């Protein structure tokens, strides 16, 4: 907490006050291609901007194509040499996820970095077009499916280039505030007992469990790809549109703990690009430093169960 309040650097040399530009200073990503979901606004856009600034070829994956193209233009205004593409992606629709993956593969680009950044928060109860609770569907299942669809491309790229691939899942400290048992497997779509805050925490817990189980599988396969999760920090972005007045009041009394957008994108960019993290996988990062997540997040049995459960949901949607 003291580090968060003071911005004091941790073992990595960076802390809560570090910005995305600072943690990537001097890094040349010319040979890298990255996908950033939700790169049209907020910390996703800042992540895309900084990756492009470091010469990576960035593909912004976004539901709102108009906003994504505006983000692209802002990045180009700042950096005329930036390589930025835009593709449509609605993570709440598995058909859209498949269409995005197909469109990306058709570009015949390599894929070194996948940043699963997009998300929604504290939504009223509703189901996705695939009949899945919307926060779980958008924050976890869409990214789970997307990652699986792009994994062969990442393996091919890592193998042909010798460059380590990196997958980064944006989670949240909110993963500690979830339902009893961690994940409501038997009641994932049940309106009874639905709580928007716990549903969000459940989806963020799923992000960590997904990265951990994916890391374990990649290591067992001997693949040169890492998978980690991060907590970006408390940042007032469009995610808070469902939060109401109470969140504004909370921010007023806890203002010293909140970050700006450049600081919020720092941990993502650090984990995606920094050479000191070569080989680091299955870890959870806060303020650009490794951090011990909740007991549920460290549960390997829960991670494997979530993996199988997620596959069943995807398979059922594909068959319908």
Q: Which residues are catalytic?
A: 194
Count other Cβ atoms within 10 Å, centred on residue 79. Answer: 14
Residue 209 φ/ψ, nearest 5 degrees: -60, -40
Long-range contacts for 180-189 (Cβ within 8 Å, ≥24 apart)? 182/296, 182/299, 182/302, 183/209, 183/302, 183/305, 183/306, 183/309, 185/305, 185/309, 188/132, 188/133, 188/136, 189/127, 189/131, 189/132, 189/133
Is the C-alpha dihedral spanning 136, 218, 53, 73 positive or negative? Answer: negative
Sign of CA dihedral 62, 99, 140, 128: positive
DSSP state of 25: T
291 C-beta neighbours (distance < 10 Å), count: 14
- Please name the residue that has the structure tokens 């073992």: 11
Where does 108-244 have alpha helices with state H? 134-135, 142-161, 196-221
d(CA 47, CA 34): 10
139 and 198 in contact (C-beta within 8 Å)? no
SS3 content of the chain, % helix, strand, coil (to 5): 50, 15, 35
Cβ-contact 194, 125 below 8 angstroms: yes
**Nearby residues of 254 by Cβ (< 8 Å), 6 or more positions away:** 234
């Amino acid at each position: 907490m003291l580090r968060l309040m003071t911005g004091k650097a941790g073992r990595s040399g960076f802390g809560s006050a570090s910005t995305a530009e600072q943690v990537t200073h001097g890094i040349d990503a010319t040979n890298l291609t990255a996908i950033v979901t939700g790169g049209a606004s907020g910390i996703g856009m800042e992540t895309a901007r900084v990756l492009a600034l470091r010469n990576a070829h960035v593909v912004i994956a976004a539901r709102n194509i108009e906003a994504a193209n505006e983000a692209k233009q802002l990045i180009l205004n700042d950096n005329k040499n930036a390589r930025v593409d835009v593709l449509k992606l609605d993570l709440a629709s598995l058909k859209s996820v498949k269409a995005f993956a197909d469109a990306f593969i058709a570009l015949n680009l390599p894929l070194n970095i996948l940043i699963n950044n997009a998300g929604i928060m504290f939504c009223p109860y509703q189901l996705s077009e695939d009949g899945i609770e919307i926060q779980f569907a958008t924050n976890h299942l869409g990214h789970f499916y997307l990652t699986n669809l792009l994994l062969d491309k990442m393996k091919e790229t890592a193998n042909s280039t010798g460059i380590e691939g990196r997958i980064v899942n944006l989670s949240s400290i909110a993963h500690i505030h979830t339902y009893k048992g961690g994940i409501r497997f038997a009641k994932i779509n049940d309106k009874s007992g639905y709580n928007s805050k716990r549903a969000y925490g459940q989806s963020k817990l799923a992000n960590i469990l997904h990265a951990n189980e994916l890391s374990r599988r990649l290591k067992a396969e001997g693949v040169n790809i890492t998978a980690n999760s991060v907590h970006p920090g408390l940042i007032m972005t469009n995610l808070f549109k469902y939060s109401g007045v109470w969140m504004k009041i909370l921010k007023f009394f806890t203002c010293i703990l909140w970050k700006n957008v450049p600081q919020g994108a720092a941990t993502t960019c650090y984990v995606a690009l920094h050479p000191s993290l070569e080989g680091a996988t299955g870890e959870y990062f806060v303020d650009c430093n490794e951090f011990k997540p909740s007991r549920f997040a460290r549960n390997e049995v829960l991670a494997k169960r979530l993996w199988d459960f997620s596959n069943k949901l995807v398979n059922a949607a594909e068959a319908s």
